[in-house]
Structure 1
């Protein structure tokens, strides 16, 4: 008889090793997990896609907001060039797009990427975009509080389901950079 996995927080109907749930993930996320050293530290939890938005999700699944991280796709512009990047901040904080992100990326202007651009470029669903499986060429800016967290909840690439993983694992993703004061 196999032992039932448990999430480190929250109340979820199904908890599985993410590697055993690749069919429940967006294709780019599953592809990264299959070849990532840290994949053994990642859990997948089944959730209702209608409750994917952070505050609703946390209430529905008794997940502390301070253990939830939001992955935000930004578009940084300088001259005629646009650089897409992802930023990961705790849900209890606010991403500093106009100062920290803009300066770090050397852009004249930075803003949230349009939804259709974020979805098309990541291959993930809006409301489920995650740092796991982003294009390798993108900068992945991680707030230091996320990197230091023992466990954080992020999207799975789809609105159904979430991933729970240690903050240290996120730092190992391609393009990852930990920044102080990325969020306030």
Structure 2
């Protein structure tokens, strides 16, 4: 039966900062209960990751970067939803960001602004001032797996710890996939 930990060998993040992106390592103290595991970078995408490492999709949280625009201003934010759901970007997220238009951030913007690899972006270590919108279903999931900033590893942490991150708040922002 798949679980959050799956078949991976999880190590304390604080002792293995070399396995994560630099911004994540810099923010590791914010998530002291986080653990990290190496993975095959070719298996970083959610479906392949869950299948290869026996991780429950309901314990895998995807982090996407969105860009909300109003007038000439752009607000970037991280949105976390379970792999079994989709974020309501044009409804709840757009309203929360007080944006006229809201969309997924361009690949180059997401990578350049976060300092993380595409497909490994995580809410841990995001730029200062970014909202971190965490779906209530993620918080309710217990332990969850998120990116590490790199495609070659993942983080496992109590979902409630995500709400300790700067700018984080829980919202009902998903719908079934």
Question: Aligning the two structures, in what range does the TM-score lie when normalised by the shorter sequence?
Answer: over 0.9
RMSD of aligned C-alpha atoms? 1.1
Instruction: Output the TM-score relative to the length of structure 2.
Output: 0.95
Once the two structures are superposed, residues 152-175 of structure 1 have per-residue CA deviations (whole angstroms, 9 ceiling, x without a partner) of 000000000100000110000000
Q: Greater strand percent: which structure?
A: 2
**Distance (whole Å) between structure 2 residues aligned to residue 49 and residue 103 of structure 1:** 35
Could you tell me which residue of structure 2 aligns to residue 11 of structure 1?
7
Is 1:74 the equivalent of 2:66?
yes
Compute the displacement of 1:9 (Å). Answer: 2.6
In structure 1, distance between residues paired with 2:60 and 2:45:
11
Q: Offset at 1:136?
A: 2.1
Match of 2:24 in 1: 29
Aligned to 2:117: 125
What is the CA-CA distance between 1:8 and the residue it aligns to?
A: 5.3
Could you tell me which residue of structure 2 aligns to residue 169 of structure 1? 161
Q: Secondary structure, in 3 states, of the residue corresponding to 2:164?
A: coil
CA-to-aligned-CA distance 1:104-159 (integer Å, 9 cap, x gap): 11110000000100000000000100000011210000001111221000000000
Distance, in Å, in 2 between the alignment partners of 1:46 and 1:123 is 19
Map of 2:76 onto structure 1: 84
**2:151 aligned with 1:159:** yes
**Larger RCO: 1 or 2 (CA < 8 Å, sep 6+):** 2
Aligned: 1:183 with 2:159: no
* Structure 1 residue ranges (4+ consecutive) displaced by more than 6 angstroms after TM superposition: none
Alignment correspondent of 2:98 = 106
Q: TM-score under structure 1 normalisation? A: 0.91
Q: How many residues align?
A: 173
Structure having the higher Rg: 1
